[in-house]
Homo-oligomer: A and B are copies of this chain.
Protein backbone atom coordinates (compact mmCIF):
# COMPACT_ATOMS: atom_id res chain seq x y z
CA UNK A 1 0.00 0.00 0.00
CA UNK A 2 1.30 3.46 -0.86
CA UNK A 3 2.48 5.29 2.24
CA UNK A 4 2.61 2.06 4.19
CA UNK A 5 6.16 2.51 5.45
CA UNK A 6 7.77 3.43 8.73
CA UNK A 7 10.98 5.38 9.26
CA UNK A 8 12.40 6.11 12.72
CA UNK A 9 16.04 6.41 13.81
CA UNK A 10 15.86 2.76 14.87
CA UNK A 11 13.56 1.12 12.33
CA UNK A 12 12.93 1.36 8.60
CA UNK A 13 10.20 -0.85 7.16
CA UNK A 14 8.09 -0.92 4.00
CA UNK A 15 8.70 0.74 0.64
CA UNK A 16 9.73 4.29 1.40
CA UNK A 17 8.09 7.08 -0.57
CA UNK A 18 10.79 9.67 0.03
CA UNK A 19 8.72 12.66 -1.02
CA UNK A 20 5.92 11.60 1.28
CA UNK A 21 8.45 11.00 4.07
CA UNK A 22 9.86 14.53 3.69
CA UNK A 23 6.28 15.82 3.76
CA UNK A 24 5.50 13.85 6.93
CA UNK A 25 8.69 15.09 8.62
CA UNK A 26 8.18 18.61 7.31
CA UNK A 27 11.57 18.93 5.62
CA UNK A 28 12.17 20.98 2.47
CA UNK A 29 13.06 19.55 -0.95
CA UNK A 30 16.46 20.50 -2.37
CA UNK A 31 15.24 22.33 -5.45
CA UNK A 32 17.01 23.73 -8.52
CA UNK A 33 17.42 27.09 -6.85
CA UNK A 34 19.27 25.56 -3.90
CA UNK A 35 21.40 23.45 -6.22
CA UNK A 36 22.27 26.56 -8.26
CA UNK A 37 23.37 28.29 -5.11
CA UNK A 38 25.51 25.30 -4.12
CA UNK A 39 27.17 25.26 -7.55
CA UNK A 40 28.79 28.56 -6.63
CA UNK A 41 30.90 26.75 -4.05
CA UNK A 42 32.05 23.87 -6.24
CA UNK A 43 30.96 21.24 -8.72
CA UNK A 44 27.90 19.50 -7.35
CA UNK A 45 28.48 16.18 -5.68
CA UNK A 46 26.97 13.21 -7.47
CA UNK A 47 24.65 12.66 -4.49
CA UNK A 48 23.20 16.14 -5.05
CA UNK A 49 22.90 15.76 -8.83
CA UNK A 50 21.08 12.47 -8.35
CA UNK A 51 18.75 13.66 -5.64
CA UNK A 52 20.21 11.21 -3.11
CA UNK A 53 20.78 14.10 -0.72
CA UNK A 54 17.32 15.40 -1.45
CA UNK A 55 15.84 17.26 1.51
CA UNK A 56 16.93 19.79 4.11
CA UNK A 57 16.13 22.16 6.91
CA UNK A 58 17.40 25.74 6.65
CA UNK A 59 20.29 25.00 4.30
CA UNK A 60 20.09 28.58 3.07
CA UNK A 61 20.73 29.86 6.58
CA UNK A 62 24.03 27.95 6.55
CA UNK A 63 25.03 29.49 3.22
CA UNK A 64 23.90 32.98 4.28
CA UNK A 65 26.11 32.73 7.35
CA UNK A 66 28.97 31.25 5.34
CA UNK A 67 28.83 34.16 2.92
CA UNK A 68 28.98 36.54 5.86
CA UNK A 69 32.24 34.83 6.84
CA UNK A 70 30.64 32.80 9.60
CA UNK A 71 31.86 29.26 9.05
CA UNK A 72 29.64 26.39 10.05
CA UNK A 73 30.65 23.10 11.69
CA UNK A 74 29.66 19.79 10.10
CA UNK A 75 28.25 17.14 12.40
CA UNK A 76 27.34 13.59 11.59
CA UNK A 77 27.46 10.36 13.52
CA UNK A 78 27.11 6.64 13.84
CA UNK A 79 25.47 4.27 16.27
CA UNK A 80 28.23 1.68 16.68
CA UNK A 81 26.26 -1.55 16.75
CA UNK A 82 28.47 -3.46 14.31
CA UNK A 83 30.95 -3.09 11.51
CA UNK A 84 30.55 -0.26 9.01
CA UNK A 85 28.73 -1.10 5.79
CA UNK A 86 28.34 0.78 2.54
CA UNK A 87 25.12 2.34 3.78
CA UNK A 88 27.06 4.16 6.48
CA UNK A 89 29.94 5.12 4.21
CA UNK A 90 27.64 6.85 1.70
CA UNK A 91 26.63 9.95 3.73
CA UNK A 92 30.14 10.12 5.24
CA UNK A 93 31.53 10.54 1.72
CA UNK A 94 29.19 13.45 1.27
CA UNK A 95 30.41 14.92 4.57
CA UNK A 96 33.99 14.60 3.31
CA UNK A 97 33.04 16.48 0.16
CA UNK A 98 31.41 19.21 2.22
CA UNK A 99 34.51 19.54 4.38
CA UNK A 100 36.70 19.84 1.27
CA UNK A 101 34.46 22.38 -0.41
CA UNK A 102 33.90 24.64 2.59
CA UNK A 103 37.08 23.97 4.56
CA UNK A 104 35.17 23.53 7.80
CA UNK A 105 35.40 21.54 11.03
CA UNK A 106 33.78 18.11 11.18
CA UNK A 107 32.47 16.52 14.39
CA UNK A 108 31.75 12.81 14.23
CA UNK A 109 29.66 11.44 17.11
CA UNK A 110 29.82 7.75 18.02
CA UNK A 111 26.75 6.96 20.11
CA UNK A 112 27.87 3.89 22.05
CA UNK A 113 25.33 4.76 24.75
CA UNK A 114 22.49 4.74 22.21
CA UNK A 115 23.33 1.35 20.80
CA UNK A 116 23.70 -0.10 24.27
CA UNK A 117 20.29 1.25 25.27
CA UNK A 118 18.38 0.32 22.14
CA UNK A 119 19.89 -3.08 21.36
CA UNK A 120 18.74 -5.75 23.75
CA UNK A 121 21.88 -7.87 23.87
CA UNK A 122 24.49 -5.12 23.39
CA UNK A 123 27.16 -4.46 26.01
CA UNK A 124 29.01 -1.18 26.48
CA UNK A 125 32.31 -2.98 25.86
CA UNK A 126 31.06 -4.10 22.45
CA UNK A 127 29.55 -0.79 21.41
CA UNK A 128 32.74 0.99 22.43
CA UNK A 129 34.86 -1.48 20.49
CA UNK A 130 32.67 -1.15 17.41
CA UNK A 131 32.90 2.64 17.77
CA UNK A 132 36.67 2.25 17.28
CA UNK A 133 36.15 0.09 14.20
CA UNK A 134 33.63 2.55 12.75
CA UNK A 135 35.91 5.51 13.43
CA UNK A 136 38.66 3.85 11.38
CA UNK A 137 36.29 3.75 8.39
CA UNK A 138 35.37 7.36 8.87
CA UNK A 139 38.99 8.49 9.03
CA UNK A 140 39.88 6.28 6.04
CA UNK A 141 37.67 8.47 3.87
CA UNK A 142 40.26 11.21 4.16
CA UNK A 143 38.81 13.79 6.56
CA UNK A 144 41.25 16.55 7.45
CA UNK A 145 42.89 15.44 10.73
CA UNK A 146 43.31 19.07 11.79
CA UNK A 147 39.65 19.91 11.28
CA UNK A 148 38.02 16.66 12.39
CA UNK A 149 37.11 15.50 15.89
CA UNK A 150 35.72 12.13 16.92
CA UNK A 151 33.29 12.22 19.83
CA UNK A 152 32.51 9.08 21.83
CA UNK A 153 29.54 9.60 24.14
CA UNK A 154 30.76 7.57 27.12
CA UNK A 155 34.27 9.08 26.86
CA UNK A 156 33.27 12.71 26.33
CA UNK A 157 30.30 12.57 28.68
CA UNK A 158 31.69 15.07 31.19
CA UNK A 159 31.58 17.85 28.62
CA UNK A 160 28.40 16.55 27.01
CA UNK A 161 26.27 15.84 30.08
CA UNK A 162 25.55 19.44 31.14
CA UNK A 163 24.41 20.25 27.59
CA UNK A 164 22.34 17.07 27.44
CA UNK A 165 20.70 18.01 30.76
CA UNK A 166 19.71 21.42 29.39
CA UNK A 167 18.15 19.78 26.35
CA UNK A 168 16.43 17.09 28.40
CA UNK A 169 14.87 19.68 30.70
CA UNK A 170 13.13 21.24 27.68
CA UNK A 171 11.65 18.04 26.20
CA UNK A 172 8.70 16.50 27.93
CA UNK A 173 7.51 12.91 27.75
CA UNK A 174 4.57 13.83 25.60
CA UNK A 175 6.87 15.25 22.90
CA UNK A 176 9.26 12.29 23.11
CA UNK A 177 6.40 9.84 22.66
CA UNK A 178 4.98 11.78 19.71
CA UNK A 179 8.32 12.24 17.93
CA UNK A 180 9.85 8.80 18.52
CA UNK A 181 6.84 6.59 19.11
CA UNK A 182 7.97 5.52 22.59
CA UNK A 183 5.53 3.57 24.76
CA UNK A 184 5.36 2.13 28.27
CA UNK A 185 7.80 -0.66 27.38
CA UNK A 186 10.57 1.77 26.34
CA UNK A 187 13.45 1.94 28.80
CA UNK A 188 14.11 5.27 30.51
CA UNK A 189 17.62 5.52 29.04
CA UNK A 190 16.24 5.36 25.51
CA UNK A 191 13.77 8.09 26.39
CA UNK A 192 16.59 10.35 27.61
CA UNK A 193 18.98 9.47 24.78
CA UNK A 194 17.87 12.03 22.18
CA UNK A 195 19.34 14.70 24.48
CA UNK A 196 22.77 13.19 23.83
CA UNK A 197 22.29 13.27 20.07
CA UNK A 198 21.48 16.98 20.39
CA UNK A 199 24.75 17.77 22.12
CA UNK A 200 27.05 18.05 19.07
CA UNK A 201 24.54 20.48 17.56
CA UNK A 202 25.30 22.88 20.41
CA UNK A 203 28.83 21.84 21.38
CA UNK A 204 30.62 24.12 18.87
CA UNK A 205 28.79 27.11 20.37
CA UNK A 206 29.69 26.03 23.91
CA UNK A 207 33.34 25.55 22.94
CA UNK A 208 33.56 28.86 21.06
CA UNK A 209 31.66 30.85 23.67
CA UNK A 210 29.42 32.28 20.94
CA UNK A 211 26.87 30.83 18.55
CA UNK A 212 28.31 28.73 15.73
CA UNK A 213 26.09 27.44 12.89
CA UNK A 214 25.97 23.65 12.59
CA UNK A 215 25.04 21.63 9.49
CA UNK A 216 24.15 17.98 9.86
CA UNK A 217 24.41 15.84 6.70
CA UNK A 218 22.89 12.43 7.45
CA UNK A 219 20.15 9.94 6.60
CA UNK A 220 16.62 11.32 6.78
CA UNK A 221 15.76 8.60 9.32
CA UNK A 222 17.58 10.77 11.90
CA UNK A 223 15.22 13.71 11.44
CA UNK A 224 13.11 12.99 14.55
CA UNK A 225 16.16 13.67 16.74
CA UNK A 226 16.93 16.94 15.04
CA UNK A 227 13.33 18.08 14.96
CA UNK A 228 13.29 17.75 18.75
CA UNK A 229 16.73 19.39 18.91
CA UNK A 230 15.65 22.35 16.77
CA UNK A 231 12.55 22.85 18.90
CA UNK A 232 14.61 23.46 22.04
CA UNK A 233 17.54 25.35 20.47
CA UNK A 234 16.28 28.88 20.74
CA UNK A 235 14.93 28.47 24.25
CA UNK A 236 18.47 27.53 25.27
CA UNK A 237 19.98 30.49 23.45
CA UNK A 238 21.51 28.42 20.63
CA UNK A 239 21.06 28.61 16.86
CA UNK A 240 18.86 25.91 15.37
CA UNK A 241 21.10 23.29 13.74
CA UNK A 242 20.45 22.86 9.99
CA UNK A 243 20.21 19.54 8.19
CA UNK A 244 20.77 18.07 4.75
CA UNK A 245 19.26 14.62 4.42
CA UNK A 246 19.91 11.65 2.16
CA UNK A 247 17.85 8.65 1.24
CA UNK A 248 18.71 5.27 2.74
CA UNK A 249 21.31 3.15 0.94
CA UNK A 250 19.53 0.11 -0.46
CA UNK A 251 20.20 -3.51 0.50
CA UNK A 252 21.45 -6.05 -2.07
CA UNK A 253 18.23 -7.99 -1.59
CA UNK A 254 16.31 -5.07 -3.07
CA UNK A 255 15.20 -3.66 0.29
CA UNK A 256 15.10 0.09 0.79
CA UNK A 257 17.75 0.16 3.50
CA UNK A 258 20.95 -1.83 3.82
CA UNK A 259 20.75 -3.39 7.23
CA UNK A 260 23.05 -5.41 9.45
CA UNK A 261 20.07 -7.55 10.37
CA UNK A 262 20.35 -9.03 6.86
CA UNK A 263 24.11 -9.69 6.50
CA UNK A 264 23.91 -11.33 3.06
CA UNK A 265 22.31 -8.20 1.73
CA UNK A 266 25.00 -6.02 3.29
CA UNK A 267 28.56 -5.28 2.25
CA UNK A 268 30.84 -4.42 5.12
CA UNK A 269 34.02 -2.41 4.71
CA UNK A 270 35.84 -5.35 6.24
CA UNK A 271 34.53 -7.91 3.69
CA UNK A 272 37.08 -9.67 1.53
CA UNK A 273 36.89 -9.98 -2.26
CA UNK A 274 35.40 -13.46 -2.10
CA UNK A 275 32.61 -12.39 0.27
CA UNK A 276 31.78 -9.42 -1.94
CA UNK A 277 31.65 -11.61 -5.03
CA UNK A 278 29.33 -14.04 -3.29
CA UNK A 279 27.00 -11.34 -1.94
CA UNK A 280 26.79 -9.41 -5.20
CA UNK A 281 26.27 -12.68 -7.05
CA UNK A 282 23.12 -13.28 -4.99
CA UNK A 283 21.80 -9.74 -5.33
CA UNK A 284 18.29 -8.94 -6.48
CA UNK A 285 18.27 -7.52 -10.02
CA UNK A 286 15.76 -6.21 -12.54
CA UNK A 287 16.51 -9.02 -14.96
CA UNK A 288 14.22 -11.55 -16.62
CA UNK A 289 13.94 -15.24 -15.88
CA UNK A 290 15.92 -16.31 -18.95
CA UNK A 291 18.74 -14.88 -21.03
CA UNK A 292 16.61 -15.06 -24.16
CA UNK A 293 13.77 -13.18 -22.54
CA UNK A 294 16.14 -10.52 -21.24
CA UNK A 295 17.79 -10.09 -24.62
CA UNK A 296 14.31 -9.54 -26.02
CA UNK A 297 12.53 -7.50 -23.34
CA UNK A 298 15.47 -5.89 -21.50
CA UNK A 299 15.92 -5.44 -17.74
CA UNK A 300 14.47 -2.97 -15.28
CA UNK A 301 17.20 -0.84 -13.64
CA UNK A 302 14.69 0.92 -11.41
CA UNK A 303 14.24 -2.10 -9.16
CA UNK A 304 17.75 -3.51 -9.60
CA UNK A 305 20.04 -3.48 -6.55
CA UNK A 306 23.14 -3.69 -8.80
CA UNK A 307 22.02 -0.62 -10.70
CA UNK A 308 21.23 1.21 -7.47
CA UNK A 309 24.75 0.53 -6.19
CA UNK A 310 26.15 2.21 -9.27
CA UNK A 311 23.65 5.03 -8.92
CA UNK A 312 24.25 5.67 -5.22
CA UNK A 313 27.95 5.05 -4.95
CA UNK A 314 29.97 3.32 -7.64
CA UNK A 315 29.36 5.16 -10.91
CA UNK A 316 30.21 8.79 -10.48
CA UNK A 317 29.99 9.51 -14.22
CA UNK A 318 26.43 10.46 -15.21
CA UNK A 319 27.14 9.69 -18.85
CA UNK A 320 28.27 6.16 -18.11
CA UNK A 321 25.33 5.60 -15.81
CA UNK A 322 23.00 6.68 -18.57
CA UNK A 323 24.64 4.31 -21.01
CA UNK A 324 24.23 1.49 -18.51
CA UNK A 325 20.53 2.30 -18.18
CA UNK A 326 20.03 2.19 -21.93
CA UNK A 327 21.99 -1.04 -22.30
CA UNK A 328 19.97 -2.67 -19.55
CA UNK A 329 16.57 -1.62 -20.83
CA UNK A 330 17.44 -2.74 -24.36
CA UNK A 331 18.72 -6.14 -23.27
CA UNK A 332 22.25 -5.43 -24.45
CA UNK A 333 23.75 -6.19 -21.07
CA UNK A 334 22.88 -9.09 -18.79
CA UNK A 335 22.69 -9.17 -15.01
CA UNK A 336 25.72 -11.46 -14.74
CA UNK A 337 27.88 -8.91 -16.56
CA UNK A 338 26.66 -6.09 -14.35
CA UNK A 339 27.38 -8.18 -11.25
CA UNK A 340 30.92 -8.88 -12.37
CA UNK A 341 31.54 -5.21 -13.12
CA UNK A 342 30.11 -4.06 -9.79
CA UNK A 343 32.04 -6.71 -7.87
CA UNK A 344 35.23 -5.37 -9.42
CA UNK A 345 34.35 -1.79 -8.53
CA UNK A 346 33.45 -2.65 -4.96
CA UNK A 347 36.53 -4.78 -4.46
CA UNK A 348 38.76 -2.07 -5.88
CA UNK A 349 37.16 0.43 -3.52
CA UNK A 350 37.43 -1.89 -0.53
CA UNK A 351 41.03 -2.83 -1.24
CA UNK A 352 42.03 0.83 -1.15
CA UNK A 353 39.71 1.59 1.74
CA UNK A 354 41.06 -1.26 3.84
CA UNK A 355 44.61 -0.01 3.33
CA UNK A 356 43.58 3.50 4.43
CA UNK A 357 41.68 1.95 7.31
CA UNK A 358 44.87 0.32 8.56
CA UNK A 359 46.69 3.64 8.34
CA UNK A 360 43.86 5.29 10.28
CA UNK A 361 45.00 3.31 13.32
CA UNK A 362 48.10 5.51 13.46
CA UNK A 363 46.16 8.77 13.61
CA UNK A 364 42.88 7.91 15.33
CA UNK A 365 44.08 9.05 18.74
CA UNK A 366 45.14 12.41 17.34
CA UNK A 367 41.57 12.97 16.19
CA UNK A 368 39.57 12.20 19.34
CA UNK A 369 37.69 15.00 21.06
CA UNK A 370 39.49 15.98 24.27
CA UNK A 371 42.14 13.39 23.45
CA UNK A 372 40.42 10.30 24.81
CA UNK A 373 41.95 6.91 23.98
CA UNK A 374 40.27 3.60 23.24
B-contacting residues of A (Cβ < 8 Å)?
113, 116-117, 124, 154-155, 157-158, 161-162, 164-166, 168-174, 176-177, 182-192, 194-195
Contacts and interface: CB of A to CB of B under 8 A. Distances in A.
Nearest to A166: B124
A117 B161 contact: no
Among the interface residues A171, A173, A174, A185, which one has the most CB atoms of the partner chain B within 10 A?
A173
29 contacts: A113-B165, A117-B168, A124-B165, A154-B158, A154-B161, A154-B162, A157-B158, A157-B161, A158-B158, A161-B161, A169-B187, A169-B189, A170-B187, A171-B187, A172-B184, A172-B186, A173-B184, A173-B185, A173-B186, A173-B187, A173-B191, A174-B184, A174-B185, A177-B184, A188-B191, A189-B192, A189-B195, A191-B191, A192-B192
Contact of A173 (B116, B124, B166, B188): B188
Lowest 3 A-B CB distances belong to which pairs? A168-B189, A192-B192, A174-B184
A80 B116 CA distance: 30
A177 B168 CA distance: 17
| Chain A interface SS verdict (over half) | helix
Contact of A165 (B117, B168, B169, B174): B117
A242 B191 CA distance: 28
A192 B168 contact: yes
A171 B186 CA distance: 8
A188 B176 contact: yes
A240 to B, nearest CB: 19
Contacts of A113: 161, 165
Contact of A188 (B154, B157, B194): B194
Contacts of A183: 173
Given A113-B165, A161-B161, A172-B186, 20 more contacts: A113-B161, A116-B169, A117-B165, A117-B169, A154-B158, A154-B162, A155-B158, A157-B157, A157-B161, A164-B189, A165-B189, A168-B189, A169-B187, A171-B188, A172-B184, A172-B185, A173-B183, A173-B184, A173-B186, A173-B187
B184 A188 contact: no
A157 B165 CA distance: 12
Among the interface residues A124, A172, A182, A186, which one has the most CB atoms of the partner chain B within 10 A?
A172
Contacts of A171: 187-188
Contacts of A155: 158
A194 B188 CA distance: 9
Contacts of A124: 162, 165-166
Contacts of A187: 168-173
A161 to B, nearest CB: 5
A124 to B, nearest CB: 5
Contacts of A165: 113, 116-117, 124, 154, 189
